[in-house]
Amino acid sequence: MPSPASTASGPLTALRVLDISEGIAGPFAAKLLADLGADVLKVERPGSGDIARTFGPFPDTAPGPDASGTYIYANTSKRGVTLDTTTARGRDVFLGLARSYDIVVASETEPELAARGLGWDTLSQLNPRLVLVTVTGFGSTGPYAGWATTHLVNCAVGGWANTCGLPGKDPIQAGGNVTDFIAGAYAAVATLLAHEHREREGLGQLVDVSAMESVLTAALLPTMLWEYAATIPERKSQRTTGPSWIMECADGYVGANVLTGPQWEAMCHFIGMPEILDDPQYQLPAARMLLADELHAKMAPWFKERSASEVFHEAGLWRIPFGLIPSMTEVLEMEQLIDRDFFAQILNPAGAGTIPTVGVPFKLPAAPSRPGPAPRLGEHTGEVLTGLLGLSAAEVDELRAAGVC
C-alpha cells in the first residue's frame, strides 16, 4: 500500500518501514523517511497508543489522543495500527509484518527488544535483509545502556547544559526538545546508510543510535575544546566564539555570528566603527572574547536604531553571517520560506479541515514530496491486517476482542 503522503513521487517510495518507537526521537526518524515517500506503518499499543499523544500542545488546551501537536508533527505521512506486541498473538502478528518490511525503528535497546522476542537475532533470522534501528538515550551497549533519559538529561550528558546559561547562574536546557529531534535526524541518516549497504551487500544490520552521542557530536565546540585542549568552556551562552552576540534592534533581535578575522573586520566597518580595528586590545580573537561585554556595549546603540530586518539584509550584502530571531508569527511570514513553499496543509486527525505544518527539509525536483496526515489511533488496523497479512474481518474482530489490536 502506498504512503499517505500527498504525492507518491518522493525519493523513498520503495522503502517500507515499521515504526514501533514512541516519544519524539524514533518517530521523528521514521517521519523524515515517511515525508520523503517511504511507506511507514506506525505500530502502537491498543488503548493509549504512543506516549507522545499525551504531550500536547492541544488545541484549546483540550487533550485528545489524536490532537497532540507533538504527536502529529512527529508522525506525519504514516499509516497507523494498534497491536499489543507484549502478547504472544500480537508478537506473531508483528513478526508476520516484519517479514515483508525493510526497516524497523524502535525506541528500546536491542536487549529490551530481545527480552520480548523482537530482538536482532529473531528479526534477522526472519528477514535477513531487515535493518533494525534502535534510538535510545544511551544506546544498547556500554555502562549507561538502558538508562532512562529525557531532553533535560540529554542536554546534561551531552554537554549543552554546562555551557547554556549565564555566568554564575544555573545551567539550563536548550528549548523545544531539540536533542530528541537531533537524535531522530541522526537515526534517519544512519538508517539510509544501512539501507544503502543492504542494497549493495544484500544483508540488513543493527543500527544503534544514542541520543547522548548524537548531542555530543552536535554540540561540537564544547566537545572539541575538551578533546583537543582538555578545557571546559565557561557558561556564557550570551557570548560565543568570535565573539558572537545576540543584538537588540529597534523591533526585535538578530544574531551576529562573527567567527573569522575577515568577518570581524567587515563587522567593524558595517557598523561604522573602523577605529575598533586599530585598538590594540581588540586585535586577538581571544582578547575580543574576554572583552565581549565591553564590545557589545560599544556596538549596541547602532543596532537599536535599526530594524532587525534591515540589519539582517544589509549584513548579507557585507557577507557577515547574521541571523534573524523571529517570533513564531514572523516565521510563518518569512519570505524565503514562503517562496520555497516550505509550509504545507495536512488533514487534521482530530477533526475536520486542515492544519498547517512544515514541509520536508529537502527539495528534490526530480522526486518532489510533501507531508501527509498523521494517523488517528488504530486508523488502519483492519486495512493492514486484512490487506498485508490476509486475515479475515472475523479474525481481526477476534484480535480486537482479545485486546491484541
Residue 167 has which C-alpha cell? 555566568
Q: What pLDDT does 41 receive?
A: 98
Q: What angle do CA 141, 144, 146 make, to 5 degrees?
A: 70
CA–centroid distance for 317 within its chain: 32
pLDDT band (50, 70, 90) for residue 299: very high
Whole-number Å distance between alpha carbons of 359 and 28: 13
Maximum Cα interatomic distance, the chain, rounded to a whole number of Å: 84
Residue 405's alpha-carbon distances to 44, 82, 88, 382, 384, in angstroms, are 9, 5, 12, 9, 11
pLDDT band (50, 70, 90) for residue 144: very high
3-state secondary structure of 404: coil
CB-CB contact of 39 with 1 (8 Å): yes
Residue 311 has which C-alpha cell? 540589519
In one letter, which amino acid is 249?
Answer: C
Q: What is the pLDDT of residues 22-81, one digit of tens each?
A: 999 999 999 999 999 999 999 999 999 999 999 989 887 788 889 999 999 999 999 999
Q: Which residue has the cell 578533546?
A: 227
Residue 397's alpha-carbon distances to 70, 394, 405, in angstroms, are 31, 5, 9
What is the pTM (predicted TM-score) of this model? 0.90
Whole-number Å distance between alpha carbons of 54 and 64: 8
Helix residue ranges, H only, 205-343: 211-219, 221-229, 261-270, 275-278, 285-290, 292-304, 308-317, 328-332, 335-339
Whole-number Å distance between alpha carbons of 153 and 160: 10
3-state secondary structure of 254: strand
Q: What pLDDT does 241 receive?
A: 61
Q: Which residue has the cell 565546540?
A: 221
What are the residues facing 246 on neighbouring strands? 255
Domains and CATH numbers, the chain: 16-219+338-401 (3.40.50.10540), 239-326 (3.30.1540.10)
Residue 23's alpha-carbon distances to 17, 68, 305, in angstroms, are 17, 12, 44
Residue 5 has pLDDT above 60, yes or no: no
pLDDT band (50, 70, 90) for residue 232: confident
Q: What is the pLDDT of residues 74-97, one digit of tens each?
A: 999 999 999 999 999 999 999 999
pLDDT band (50, 70, 90) for residue 350: confident
Torsion angle in degrees (nearest 10) through CA of 184, 188, 189, 194: 130
CA–centroid distance for 186 within its chain: 8
